[in-house]
Chain A
Amino acid sequence: MLAYISIISPLLPIILFLAFCTKKSRRELWVIFFYIVLSFSLDFFQYMTPWGRHNNFRIFGIFTIVEVALFTYFFYLVIGNKIIKRIVLTACTCLVIFLLILFLKSNKTNFDSISASVESVTLIILSITYFFGQLSRPQEQFIYSSPNFWIVLAIMIYLSGTFFLFMMANNLSAYEIQKYWFINNVSNIITNLIFCIAFLVNRFASAHPITEKTYTGYNNIHENPLREQ
């Protein structure tokens, strides 16, 4: 039951994006939208078709590489510092090549823990970099009035929730994997819900940024300051 909810959970952010965000969305939101559509399609294909069920780990391996590429592209777009942007681009290229080699060399019959762990660690580091970048920039808006904050939060929650599961998947039996796979399903559902918040924030909060009530001194600039004396 939880697995089915997890599979269809990306539909909610997809619908919200199509309803609210298609007109004035920035490129980073389109990247995430594309990721959600891809994630939904692959999950659907993986669980609903016989070929998908037989080539479960092959699909998972490909998806990991695409996921890394899309998420690092997202971080490349949202990180403001030019030096960090360059580092992200170089590291992402190296990582994708590394994951590709790993995927081609693997027997594709087992879960590839190394790829998943490397992906998690890299993206968690990028998420922390994004957050600290936001802290060092003087801003008038609260961090949570930006859709990027929610997207990075979703990525972090998913990766930290599944980090130990993916890292230890090689050491778990098929029964244990099945037993603990609910961690992935729950993380996936939470992630998609947070993506929904991101799209809603993009639609509603960007038009009216969440700020502290600003001080305006005189309400009317023509007001005579001497009047109060």
Chain B
Amino acid sequence: MILLQVLNSDNSISTVLFFGTIGMLALTIGLIVFISFHQRKVIRYQQQLQRMEQDQQKTLLNASIRLQEEERQRIAADLHDDAGPLLATARLYLNENFVNLDKNTQLQSIYNAKQIIDDTIQLIRNISHSLMPPTLKNFGLESAVNDLFQKISGSGSMNASCRFHDYRERLKAENELIIFRIIQELVNNILKHSNASFIHLTQNTSGNKFFIRIHHDGRGLTQTDFEKLNKSNVGLGLKNIQSRLKVLQGKIFFEKDMSQTYYKVTIEMIKEEELKPA
């Protein structure tokens, strides 16, 4: 009715007033609707990102728990299958002394028991070393990595070398262990899957960053492969690397060399003094 009144009236002021008011209200409502929908969309997008990150964390947590369980099973198997029978055998030899009173036989069984106990000590030492390498604990990351690479080279299957350019001050023991485990995992992967003939590791620093680079000439991963494996259920070791790096607030990059001959893995971390507490 108002519209009819306005349209029928000759007064142009009425028309301007009517359409002006309607226009202003339409603009205001349009703006409000736009803002509300846009904000809704932004919030949903943020939540989707958050959800993806939580999924990723869940996968990493799963991987690290599974790896821990595997490690425990391995130690349990070592103790049960190797140390257990050895100690049982030593016990049998020592029991022999109660039954057989012949001096020579007794000496022989004590000697045998001693041999077996020595073997058990060595076995337990090996297990303990695999849990925490003594070189790493006593002499630091550089020596531990050198040791690891010398062992690989010594086996004759691969040429392995490493060079630390700027490692005058040792990192915290727990951080050294994390980095060592990451290197161990990467080297293991290269040994197992790449068919490479050499591995070369270098360490250096730049600004507040600490870098470790590993080159090899075998079949390797690119960043896309790494991300794909990280999201899938396989690639437990890679997920473990990722979760260890998270503790150090570090990053890892997999790439193929410019010459397309080598694969390069770069681990990038913030120097210890600048690490934020997690």
Contact = CB atoms under 8 A, between A and B. Distances in A.
Interface of A: 128, 131-132, 134-135, 138-140, 142-144, 153, 156-157, 160-165, 168, 171-172, 176, 180, 183, 211-212, 214-215, 217-218, 224-226
A53 B66 CA distance: 83
Interface string B17-34: 100110011011001100
Contact of A142 (B20, B25, B43, B65): B43
Interface residues of B, number: 34
Interface of B: 11, 13-14, 16-17, 20-21, 24-25, 27-28, 31-32, 35-36, 38-40, 42-44, 46-47, 50-51, 54-55, 57-58, 61-62, 65-66, 69
A164 B21 contact: yes
A143 B36 contact: yes
B32 A164 contact: no
Majority DSSP secondary structure for residues of A touching B = helix
Nearest to A224: B65
A163 B39 contact: no
A139 B43 contact: yes
A163 B13 contact: no
CB-CB nearest 4 A-B residue pairs: A164-B20, A160-B24, A160-B28, A225-B62
Given A143-B35, A212-B43, A212-B44, A172 B13 contact: yes
A134 B35 CA distance: 9
Given A132-B35, A212-B43, 11 more contacts: A134-B39, A135-B35, A135-B39, A139-B43, A140-B43, A161-B21, A162-B21, A215-B47, A215-B50, A217-B57, A225-B61
A142 B39 contact: yes
B43 A164 contact: no
A165 B66 CA distance: 72
Contacts of B66: 226
Summarize B's interface: helix, strand, loop or mixed.
helix
Given A144-B36, A165-B17, A183-B21, A217 B27 contact: no
A226 B65 contact: yes
A192 B14 CA distance: 26
Contact of B47 (A132, A143, A168, A214): A214
Contact of A163 (B14, B20, B57): B20
B58 A161 contact: no
A117 to B, nearest CB: 12
B35 A176 contact: no
Nearest to B48: A215
Contact of B28 (A143, A144, A157, A183): A157
B131 to A, nearest CB: 22
A212 B11 CA distance: 51
Nearest to A183: B21
Contacts of A168: 13, 16-17
A162 B61 CA distance: 60
Nearest to B27: A160
B17 A164 contact: yes
Contacts of B51: 215
A138 B46 contact: yes
A226 B69 contact: yes
A128 B28 CA distance: 9
A217 B58 contact: yes
A211 B46 CA distance: 12
A176 B47 CA distance: 54
B28 A156 contact: yes
A155 to B, nearest CB: 10
